Chains A and B, each alone.
Chain A
Amino acid sequence: MSERVAVRKTYKLFIGGKFPRSESGRSYLVQDSNVSLASRKDARDAVVAARAAVKGWAGATAYNRGQILYRIAEMLEGRREQFVALGVPADEVDAAIDRWVWYAGWSDKLPQVYGGANPVAGPYFNLSAPEPTGVVAVVAPEAPALLGLVSVIAPAIVTGNTVVVATSPSQPLPAVTLAEVLATSDLPGGVVNLLTGRITETQPTLAGHMDVNAIDLTGVTDAELAVDLEVKAAQNLKRVLRPAPADHDWFTDPGITRMTTLLETKTVWHPKGV
């Protein structure tokens, strides 16, 4: 009997809950696999998918979003070995799972911690509450490929934003595999969209896109590119998260700034009276 021939996986993009190839028909060889090389058009398509998902995701209850993020943690736990086989260190996979759990709990707590009643000097009810800003274009850190990716996606989506994420160009396989986790976690299509390839190709399009509300430049290491993207983002006054320091330790407590930078605060007034 001959040895069984393995079935290899085709690594594709993740847009609108589906796994399309790049519309450009291109791929690049990385981690011994052909991985889709996303084009500017793919980036624009991803924004369309992300925008379409905003209403349902931002409108979902915080309880529901929290459960779905926890479900992602469950699915990731089940595929732990798969990520280790891709070369992700076991402690990093564990930290990534735990990070989903940590953020899952924030969905129905952040509005209490970050909003509240304001004691105005007059007969008015006055309440401030955070709301998602909308579509966020994210550049994930080059490394750690899985924990870094989870650490930028989770804080953006837990509050109701949807994201278009450029994955680590040199290690895209954990990202595409994470997409399989996301696709099986009851996360509505379009909430997370993943683009593999070169950030120099897709990010200028996203930073200048008028239907993107915020950019997260965390993974941009080229200072000149970061400035160029921030300048483009000013066109419609996108909210900006600037690049992370090169020595950032992704295993530490993330804090809440990643979440709050991608939120708007809405304050509602109403008179009191009989």
Chain B
Amino acid sequence: MFEYAPAPESRSVVDLKPSYGLFINGEFVDPTDGGSFKSINPASEEVLAEVAEAGAQDVDRAVRAAREAYEKVWGPMPGRDRAKYLFRIARIIQERSRELAVLESLDNGKPIKESRDVDVPLVAGYFFYYAGWADKLGHAGFGPDPKPLGVAAQVIPWNFPLLMLAWKIAPALAAGNTVVLKPAETTPLTALLFAEICQQADLPAGVVNILTGAGDTGRALVEHAGVDKVAFTGSTEVGRAIARSVAGSRKKLTLELGGKAANIVFDDAPIDQAVEGIVNGIFFNQGHVCCAGSRLLVQENVADRVLESLKRRMAQLRVGDPLDKNTDIGAINSAAQLERIRELSDAGSAEGAERWSPPCELPERGFWFAPTIFTGVTQAHRIAREEIFGPVLSVLTFRTPAEAVEKANNTPYGLSAGIWTDKGSRILWMADRLRAGVVWANTFNKFDPTSPFGGYKESGYGREGGRHGLEGYLNV
């Protein structure tokens, strides 16, 4: 194997302030009853900026600002004008894409080639797509004159900070709602840069409010009596707590939660393509993906061949500096997440599965985990049941399509699934039977603004993306 020279992307394009306030009613303000916390670069543990932590009074201020903006400005505004603001935002995202990508990789730890080529282009795409809906809601299939809900409380995770922001804010604003959004505590910085973009777009004050903080801030936000809609992406455990907290209220709820997707490889699949799909399925974004293909189900008679090829391919993966343009796998997002990945991986070994990682030199500072596969995994193993949310693949085998379906569906989750086979009728037969919201056949981890995304069962409810994504923000 040949060596790669370092090819770091310059971080000079990012102009970080030492500290950031809360974005309420169009301005950055100091918290009234909150504190502050630091956001670090997970690849170096260097402090990037100090960020305000919103308290209950700050949440109240933001919800009031959003309410006033909804009643006086955004609600009454014609859809065609709302559309123009969203188009404007989409354009600024495209214009400042390099800055957004570098900052996302700094704060999150994901490889620059992913933030640059996947996250940020999709972010612009979601705003561009939903912008066009703002003046066509009567044609969206929800009756002639569907109405917005009011103020949306939105809480997003750290794995795709800016993309999850786009999934939340773009449809909410297009439908005529105003929002209060809380980014994850480990990745608040691109949301704050987005707040600056809202200012640059002259978006009316209060339409978008960004509250940084941790779990307490999120809880105060979703439980606030002044919100009409709650949208959450994150763990199933927190999703359950939110579903309980909104019980009996008027709040409309959409949840996009955990997953434990099966990526199913049949013996007639093109092995090289399938291996690329397996690698993409579990190592994309360090495996910090709710729809990651974290259970490989491979047909028994090709298991050895697939695993040999997979191991060879894994040995080529480059783990390291997220800003290096050749990096395939970046840093684990936080010390806490690294601990969880280690704990579950240790459980995998302890329960009798066989662990393998390619030889791989990890940087000394920061949070890192080598790409890992477990073979000899049974359905009873924790690593086959629990979401690891890291670069760890559990390999199981099957003999018949029916067995593959049964194993794939043997989970409380139902977010996504993958099928690899050359036989068209088998793809459709399998797709019919897999209880998952997104089925990728002979591909994996594809996303698009027009394509609805969301889960069955305990992976949550509601869809984001496409025409379906409007429903969660309309009174239908």
Contact = CB atoms under 8 A, between A and B. Distances in A.
Given A234-B247, A237-B461, A255-B143, A266 B448 contact: no
A237 B460 contact: yes
A65 interface: no
A232 to B, nearest CB: 9
Nearest to A228: B247
Given A128-B451, A231-B244, A237-B461, A266 B446 contact: no
Interface residues of B, number: 42
Contacts of B439: 266-269
Contact of B451 (A231, A235, A236, A267): A267
Contacts of A118: 448, 450-452, 466
A265 interface: yes
B257 interface: yes
A270 B451 contact: no
Size bracket of the A interface: 20 to 34
B446 A231 contact: no
A122 B460 contact: no
Given A114-B141, A237-B461, A266-B439, A122 B448 contact: yes
Given A231-B244, A237-B239, A269 B443 contact: yes
Contacts of B442: 270-271
Interface in A223-251: 223, 226-227, 230-231, 233-237, 239
Contact of A267 (B239, B244, B437): B437
Contacts of A271: 442-443
B441 A269 contact: yes
Main secondary structure of the interface of A (DSSP, over half): mixed
Contacts of B443: 124, 269-271
Interface in B456-476: 456-458, 460-461, 463, 466, 468, 471, 476
Interface string B385-422: 00000000000000000000000000010000000000
Contacts of A252: none
A226 B441 contact: no
Contact of A265 (B437, B450, B458): B437
Nearest to B412: A236
A255 B441 CA distance: 34
Contact of B247 (A120, A230, A264, A269): A230
B451 A120 contact: yes
Contacts of B141: 113-114
B372 interface: no
A128 B452 CA distance: 7
A235 B241 CA distance: 9
A121 B125 contact: yes
Given A266-B431, A266-B439, A269-B440, A237 B457 contact: yes
Contacts of A133: 456
B398 to A, nearest CB: 20
B248 A227 contact: yes
B49 interface: no
Contacts of B454: 265
B427 interface: yes
A119 B129 CA distance: 11
Contact of B436 (A122, A226, A233, A266): A266
A257 B451 contact: no
A159 interface: no
B248 A267 contact: no
B157 to A, nearest CB: 17
Interface string B228-267: 0000000010011101100110000001010000000000
B240 A237 contact: yes
A121 B465 CA distance: 13
B438 interface: yes
Contacts of A67: none
Contact of B463 (A234, A237, A265): A265
A266 B247 contact: no
A239 B461 contact: yes
A226 to B, nearest CB: 6
Contacts of B243: 230, 233-234, 237
Given A237-B460, A265-B468, A227 B247 contact: yes
Given A124-B446, A126-B451, A266 B437 contact: yes
B457 A128 contact: no
Contacts of B471: 260
A213 interface: yes
A128 B466 contact: yes
B133 interface: no
Interface of A: 113-114, 118-122, 124, 126, 128, 133, 213, 223, 226-227, 230-231, 233-237, 239, 255, 257, 260, 264-271
10 contacts: A113-B141, A118-B451, A121-B448, A230-B248, A236-B457, A264-B456, A266-B438, A268-B431, A269-B440, A271-B443
Interface of B: 125, 141, 143, 236, 239-241, 243-244, 247-248, 255, 257, 412, 427, 431, 436-443, 446, 448-454, 456-458, 460-461, 463, 466, 468, 471, 476
Which 7 A-B residue pairings sit nearest by Cβ, starting from the closest?
A227-B248, A230-B247, A234-B243, A120-B448, A118-B450, A270-B441, A234-B244
Given A230-B247, A270-B443, 13 more contacts: A113-B141, A118-B448, A120-B446, A121-B125, A122-B446, A128-B468, A234-B241, A237-B461, A266-B436, A267-B453, A268-B439, A269-B440, A270-B441
